Amino acid sequence: MERLIEWLLLHLPRQQKTTVVHGAFRLDNLLFHPKKTEVLAILNWELSTLGDPLADVASSCLAHYLPSSFPMLRGLSDCDLTQLGIPTAEECFRMYCLHMGIPPAKNWNFYMAFSFFREAAILQGVYKRSLTGQASLATTEQSGKLTEFMSNLAWDFAIKEGFRVFKEMPQNR
């Protein structure tokens, strides 16, 4: 986490657009119409703030890099996105940029690293609470492993280029 903090500070985007950002904009925070492809509501606004809207785009892509067995956020990395009618993370990012009339950011990995870093920080808080018996996760060991898993995904985005799908995570024991 410390090296991620350093890396993120060194790679902050120079030009940022500031808008209202949800903070946890993901499929599992959307309420869909039962028969139409229409979003009826966006839930879970407690992390909303002002910030760069690309952070919400990256947040919405987190599940693309997590396995479906991930306990806190069901992932999509081992699913057939075409069959499910879900665009890939790269397609989501490009569609957003096209819709907003902006060129695709060259530092997309920053946004993904930041999103996984945020999730790791949240999980670290859960881990800390689990040490005192105040967390909802099953075991202290599991929450520590999930924190490490998320911070490793963040670091992987920080040091590598391009889109990458992750299919392995620590076993829940």
173 within a domain of the structure (yes/no): no
122 within a domain of the structure (yes/no): yes
167 within a domain of the structure (yes/no): no
Domain that holds residue 84: 2-159
* Cα-based angle 105, 108, 109 (whole degrees, multiple of 5): 155
172 within a domain of the structure (yes/no): no
All residue ranges of the chain with pLDDT < 70 are 15, 135-141, 161-173
58 within a domain of the structure (yes/no): yes
Give the total number of structural domains in the chain: 1
pLDDT at 136: 57
| CATH number, domain containing residue 115 | 3.90.1200.10
25 within a domain of the structure (yes/no): yes
Helix axes 140-159, 2-10, angle to 10 degrees: 30
pLDDT at 163: 41
The pLDDT tens digits of the residues spanning 65-103 come to 998 888 777 889 999 999 998 899 989 998 998 998 888
> Tell me, what amino acid is at 73?
L
pLDDT at 140: 62
CA distances from 132 to 39, 41, 136, 148 (A): 39, 35, 11, 19
17 within a domain of the structure (yes/no): yes
168 within a domain of the structure (yes/no): no
pLDDT at 135: 62
Are residues 114 and 151 in contact, defined by beta-carbon separation less than 8 angstroms? no
Give the 3-state secondary structure percentages of the chain, helix then strand then coil, rounded to 5.
Answer: 50, 10, 45
Question: Chain-wide mean pLDDT for the chain?
Answer: 83
Residue 110, token pair as written in the block: 């920053």
